Amino acid sequence: MSASTQPRVPRIGISLGDPGGIGPEVTVRALHALRSTAADEGASLRPIVYGQPEVWARALAVTGLADPLPPGSLVACDDALLEALPWSGPHPRGGLASLRYLARATDDLASGAVDGLCTAPLAKAAVAGHAPGFRGHTEFLQERLGSARVVMLMASERLRVALATTHVALAQVPSLLTVERLCGVARLVLGELQERFGVAQPRLAVCGLNPHAGEHGAFGDEELRVVAPAVAQLRAEGWSVEGPLPADGLFAGIFNGLAGGSAPDAVLAMYHDQGLVPFKMAAFHDGVNVTLGLPRPRTSPDHGTAFDIAGRGVADHRSMLAALRLCARLAARTQPSEQGREQGREQAREQA
C-alpha cells in the first residue's frame, strides 16, 4: 500500500482529568503500553494530551516510565493550577484544572483539531464548584457540542450496556421514561452500532424498570405503558429489539453463556445502577464509557479518580488502555463519512 493510500492515524485528544487523581498516571502507563504494542489492532493513534507540564512530569515520576509522548503532543493549560496539588482527595484547584483541560480538549474536538477524545476521570463536585450545574463529562460534551441527544454506552469485549437515564435521582427515573425517549435512545444505540462499531444487524435487549419486568403490572405499569410500546414501535421500524426483560435474568444469562448465539449486541438499561453494576462486575478492568450522539467519538475508562491510591504508582491502567484503543477504532470509522453522519444527526434532531 502506498503512503498516499495509507489510512490516516487518528489524532486522539486526552484530557488528564483531576491532577490529584489517578488520571495522569494511568494515561502515562496506557500510552506507554500502546507504544510497546504498536502492531496491535487499534493501537495506532497520535495522542494529544491536555494538561500541565508539571502534572505530566509528576505522573512520569510516579510510574518510573520514560515519556511516551511524541514531541509537541502536550497542550499546556498552565493557567489552571497556581501551585502543586497534593495527593489528597478532591480539591477546588483540581476541579478548576480538570475543567480547563476538558474545555480546551472539547473545543479542539469540535473544531476537528482532534478526531476523538478520551477523558481521564475527574471529581464532579470539585468541577461543579467552578461550573455550577456540572453533572459529568457526558452532559458537558452534549451542551458544548450542541448534540440533540447523547447516550452513555458502557462497552467491553463481552458486553455493551446503554443507559436510558444517567445522572439523575432514582426517584426521577419513572417520570423520565417515555416511549419517545426510549425509541430515541434505542435508535441512536442501534445506528451507532452499525455505523461506528461495524455491527451489520445489531440486536438490542431492553430491560424492564421494575422487578420481574413488572410481572404483567403487578409491580408497576411502566413496562405496559412505556417499554413494551417502545419496543413494538422499534420493531415496526425494522430494528431487532426484544423486551421488556427482567434485568436480573437477562444479565445472568449473558454472563453464564445461557444466551448462546442469541446474545444481544447491546442491552438498554433503564437507569444508572441497573446497567452499571452488572457491567462493572463483568468488565471492570477493560470496560469503556462511550458517549454516543457526538460528532466525533468520546471514550473514558469506567473508573473514577481513585484519590485513595493516587500517587502510589499502583493504579491499574487497563481500562484507560481499552478506552484509548476503542476511541482510535471509532475515530478511524468516523472519519470517512462525515457528511452521512451529519445527515443522521439532523434526522435525530427532528425525532428528538
- pLDDT tens for 262-288 read 789 999 999 999 999 999 998 988 999
pTM for this predicted structure:
0.87
pLDDT in tens, 109-141: 999 999 999 999 999 999 999 999 998 999 999
Angle at 70 between CA 295 and CA 16, to 5 degrees: 55
Residues spanned by CATH 3.40.718.10 within the chain? 9-150+294-346, 158-285
Bridge partners, residue 47, by sequence = 12
Task: Tell whether domain 158-285 is in CATH 3.40.718.10.
Answer: yes
Is 271 within 8 Å of 210 (Cβ atoms)? no
pLDDT, tens only, 231-256: 999 999 999 999 999 999 999 999 88
Residue 181 belongs to what H/E stretch? helix 179-195
Specify the fold of 9-150+294-346: Isopropylmalate Dehydrogenase (3.40.718)
Question: Grid coordinates standing for 190?
Answer: 442501534
How remote is the C-alpha of 212 from its chain's centroid?
A: 29
